[in-house]
């Protein structure tokens, strides 16, 4: 089991932090959890390629969590040359409609592109050179729209869907928890305040990846706090859930500064006594690791 942070940033463009994306590898399955702008480049930097990805999970459909899915999906279909299984996609309501509008048929946003690659002789030649056998098939991802409480089972793993606190009712927003023989990982998605759904979902997890957008007290309004959270609320979620390691992510440049980072970690540790990791793009998180070296 392997967990890699692909994108730990926000919607604000950043060369240091891609927008939200995580890579979870269990057995033969390679899962992308969200795929925001820049995440796909990070995926390539890990040595993985689009064709290696077997499952796509969307926590919610804010663009900073899904805009690079277009690149992942088309690259996987094109390079896969009908030799990789259809992508399995799980996400909130509207996931199916979004994918159909993007890739569903020749009238979809990328319909003319897909159509040309299927029909033009030059594209067919490239398809054959990649090992494909004409006629080339239109991509047909296996889409499942999920709700809080749902369970998805894979090869040696289970993903449970939980309710996040973000921008409902306009977008459904979820967190995910993966349980496998080697450990458990919970991802809050975007979640602010001390969300009961995330506390419950993350209960006793090895690793909790949690949005940490604001330094407590700097949120412009109380609504911002409930939508995007702050470091004190993040600490309370981790403490109440009893997780072993807390990974901070979705960080604004304003808090990603020397001195501020240290203060945030110190103040989190006053509330939460597990390990605290300041997430960075391309960081590999040991799922069972750091708490073994805990200094009491």
Q: Which residues bind Zn ion (CB under 5 A)?
A: 62, 190
Cβ at position 54, least distance to Zn ion in Å: 25
Cα(45)–Cα(114) distance, integer angstroms? 26
Cβ at position 213, least distance to Zn ion in Å: 9
* Nearer to Zn ion (CB atom), residue 104 or residue 162: 162
**CB-based contacts of 174: which residues, under 8 Å, 6+ apart?**
59, 60, 92, 146, 148, 161, 162, 163, 164, 189
DSSP string of 55-83, one letter each residue: EEE-S---HHHHTTHHHHHHHHHHHHTT-
Cβ at position 98, least distance to Zn ion in Å: 15
Cβ at position 60, least distance to Zn ion in Å: 6
Cβ at position 125, least distance to Zn ion in Å: 42
Give the residue carrying structure tokens 């020749």: 106
Cα(231)–Cα(247) distance, integer angstroms? 11
Q: Are 53 and 76 in contact (CB under 8 A)?
A: yes
* Nearer to Zn ion (CB atom), residue 190 or residue 233: 190
* Nearer to Zn ion (CB atom), residue 190 or residue 256: 190
Cα(29)–Cα(185) distance, integer angstroms? 15
* Nearer to Zn ion (CB atom), residue 117 or residue 166: 166
* Nearer to Zn ion (CB atom), residue 17 or residue 244: 17
Cα(127)–Cα(173) distance, integer angstroms? 38
Cβ at position 96, least distance to Zn ion in Å: 20
Give the residue carrying structure tokens 């002789």: 121
* Nearer to Zn ion (CB atom), residue 108 or residue 167: 167
DSSP three-state, residue 44: helix
* Nearer to Zn ion (CB atom), residue 80 or residue 189: 189
What Rg do the C-alpha atoms of the chain give, in angstroms?
A: 20
Cβ at position 163, least distance to Zn ion in Å: 14
């Amino acid at each position: 089991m392997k967990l890699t942070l692909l994108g730990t940033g926000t919607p604000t463009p950043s060369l240091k932090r891609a927008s939200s994306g995580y890579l979870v590898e269990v057995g033969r399955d390679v899962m992308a959890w969200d795929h925001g702008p820049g995440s796909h480049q990070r995926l390539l930097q890990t040595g993985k390629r689009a064709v290696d990805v077997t499952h796509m999970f969307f926590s919610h459909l804010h663009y900073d969590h899904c805009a690079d899915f277009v690149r992942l999906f088309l690259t996987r279909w094109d390079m896969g040359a009908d030799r990789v299984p259809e992508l399995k996609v799980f996400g909130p309501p509207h996931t199916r409609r979004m994918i159909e509008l993007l890739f569903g048929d020749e009238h979809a946003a990328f319909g003319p592109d897909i159509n040309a690659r299927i029909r033009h002789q030059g594209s067919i030649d490239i398809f054959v050179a990649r090992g494909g056998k004409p006629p080339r098939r239109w991509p047909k991802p296996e889409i499942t729209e999920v709700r809080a409480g749902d369970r998805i089972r894979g090869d040696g793993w289970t993903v449970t869907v939980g309710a996040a606190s973000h921008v409902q009712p306009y977008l459904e927003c979820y967190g995910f928890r993966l349980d496998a023989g080697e450990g458990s990982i919970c991802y809050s998605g975007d979640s602010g305040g001390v969300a009961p759904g995330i506390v419950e979902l993350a209960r006793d997890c090895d690793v909790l990846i949690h949005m940490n957008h604001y330094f407590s007290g700097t949120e412009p309004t109380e609504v911002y706090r409930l939508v995007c959270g702050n470091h004190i609320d993040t600490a309370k979620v981790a403490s109440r859930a009893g997780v072993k390691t807390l990974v901070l992510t979705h960080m604004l440049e304003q808090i990603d500064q020397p001195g501020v980072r240290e203060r945030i970690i110190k103040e989190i540790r006053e509330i939460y006594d597990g390990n605290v990791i300041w997430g960075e793009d391309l960081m590999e998180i040991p799922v069972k690791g750091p708490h073994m070296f805990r200094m009491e």
